[in-house]
């Protein structure tokens, strides 16, 4: 099954093409670090929104639910990316 590009990107991920192996490797690492950092910030924002809602300082449940869904989607995407990287690594190990 082929998965098509959904047309959106996580904040912090850039799609730059580098010329050379070292630049591509560092670009991948930078993209992965950016994805982890943006996912972490979304999770922290959702925790703050949930805390504000439960304490009564923010009565807006809609924004809280949106923040929680953004964090959930970003985390699922990050886990999926991690699983694909591990799967690719395992396939490379089997070739060699």
Query: What is the pTM (predicted TM-score) of this model?
Result: 0.69
Structural domain harbouring 30: 21-95
Is 76 a domain residue? yes
Is 57 a domain residue? yes
Q: What are the pLDDT digits (tens) for 29-61?
A: 898 899 999 999 999 999 999 999 999 998 889
Is 72 a domain residue? yes
Q: Three-state SS string across 3-70, please?
A: CCCCCCCCCCCCCCCCCCHHHHHHHHHHHHHHHHHHHHHHHHHHHHHHHHHHHCCCCCHHHHHHHHHH
Is 35 a domain residue? yes
Is 13 a domain residue? no
**Please, are residues 68 and 46 in contact by the beta-carbon 8 Å criterion?**
yes
Average pLDDT on 73-93 reads: 94
Is 46 a domain residue? yes
The two most distant CA atoms of the chain are separated, in Å, by: 58
pLDDT attached to residue 18: 47
Domain tally, the chain: 1
């Amino acid at each position: 099954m082929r998965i098509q590009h959904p047309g959106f990107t996580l904040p912090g991920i850039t799609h730059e093409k580098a010329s050379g192996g070292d630049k591509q490797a560092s670009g991948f690492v930078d993209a992965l670090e950016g994805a982890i950092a943006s996912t972490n910030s979304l999770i922290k924002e959702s925790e703050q929104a949930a805390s504000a809602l439960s304490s009564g300082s923010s009565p807006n449940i809609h924004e809280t639910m949106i923040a929680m869904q953004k964090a959930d989607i970003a985390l699922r995407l990050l886990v999926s990316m991690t699983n694909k990287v591990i799967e690719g690594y395992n396939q490379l190990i089997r070739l060699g």
